[in-house]
Amino acid sequence: MNEIEAAVFRVLPRQVDATLAAALRQWLPGKSWSQIRRLISARRIMLNGNVCMDPSRRLRLTDVVKILPHSAAPPPREKDVRVRFFDEHVVVVEKPAGMTSTRHFEERGWPRRRRQLQPTLDEILPRILAKIEKRHRKGLPPPVRAVHRLDRETSGLMVFARTETAERHLMQQFRKHTTERRYLAIAHGDVAAQTIVTNLVRDRGDGRRGSTKLGDVGKRAVTHVRPLERLGQYTLVECRLETGRTHQIRIHLAERGHPLCGEKVYNQPLFGQPIADTSGAPRLALHAAELGFEHPITGERMRFEMPLPDDLVQFIRRLRAS
């Protein structure tokens, strides 16, 4: 299948609700159904920035389909998830990049076989805990309860609740912003030390989340940024969250003219042209390096740190050498 070159396609009105395989046959005239299926199974198709291995996926007008020049890396597996702490109330884990934290609402009705193609962290974690605790119960292990999330491409520390009481207490801490969260990121340009304070809205005007200058709408978001190392045209930064809004770090740095390396959503100003990313980042260069919270039952203050994973360590080394 290497004779098929990399390409990007946007769904046409007449292709809405067509399957991914059918659209690819239209875009690649002369290729057989079996060749199209092999292309998809080889992990060479991305749909809206995510690898798609479902030839029957129905397309929408806003979808963007990309053919990769080579097969994408396989998704993380159970063995790639490291449990840092657990008891009967909470579990703290290191989430690998490429794994979704929880199943999106519209995906919860998918058949089991389709969900198993790319299992989510909250689906894998009960099986891991069952093995660690050496339980031999019949049926499925008890589910864990998500109290916060990390983007699929973001690596780092997460905490899950194991009981309703723990879930309630942890979610209250996240709502009141009493948790400690420190991220490491590699961003474009020379990033200065600063505290960014804006109101974030779901749609800034082009379908993307962003900041608004209207004082009576949106949610207040505060990010404390500290540069750690200049890497040529890029900067390794530390970001501490005073609030924890969706995509907060990505939005705040991008709006200051410093989109993260590997950014595919917030890489362009409102109604502007995308900012070219020639960094060669292996994925979104964002890592949740520190997590602190109060144990929901004992009240003990807990704090965990996780070093940068190998893919970002190697990325930084390449930037230093360039």
Q: What are phi and psi of 27, to 5 degrees?
A: -75, -25
What is the spatial distance between Cα 256 and Cα 96, in angstroms, rounded to a whole number?
A: 28
Looking up tokens 């390449």 gives: 318
Question: For this structure, is 151 an active site residue?
Answer: yes
Q: Are 22 and 14 in contact (CB under 8 A)?
A: no
- Catalytic site residue from 87, 122, 151, 310: 151
What is the spatial distance between Cα 91 and Cα 119, in angstroms, rounded to a whole number?
A: 18
What is the spatial distance between Cα 219 and Cα 67, in angstroms, rounded to a whole number?
A: 37
- Here the tokens at position 319 are 């930037």
Q: Are 153 and 97 in contact (CB under 8 A)?
A: yes
What is the spatial distance between Cα 249 and Cα 272, in angstroms, rounded to a whole number?
A: 20
Q: Are 186 and 308 in contact (CB under 8 A)?
A: no
C-alpha distances out from residue 173 to 161, 170, 194, 307, Å: 12, 5, 25, 24
What is the spatial distance between Cα 322 and Cα 308, in angstroms, rounded to a whole number?
A: 20
- Here the tokens at position 6 are 């990399």
What's 43's DSSP letter?
Answer: T
**Collapsing DSSP states into helix, strand and coil, what is residue 153?**
coil
Residues known to be catalytic: 151
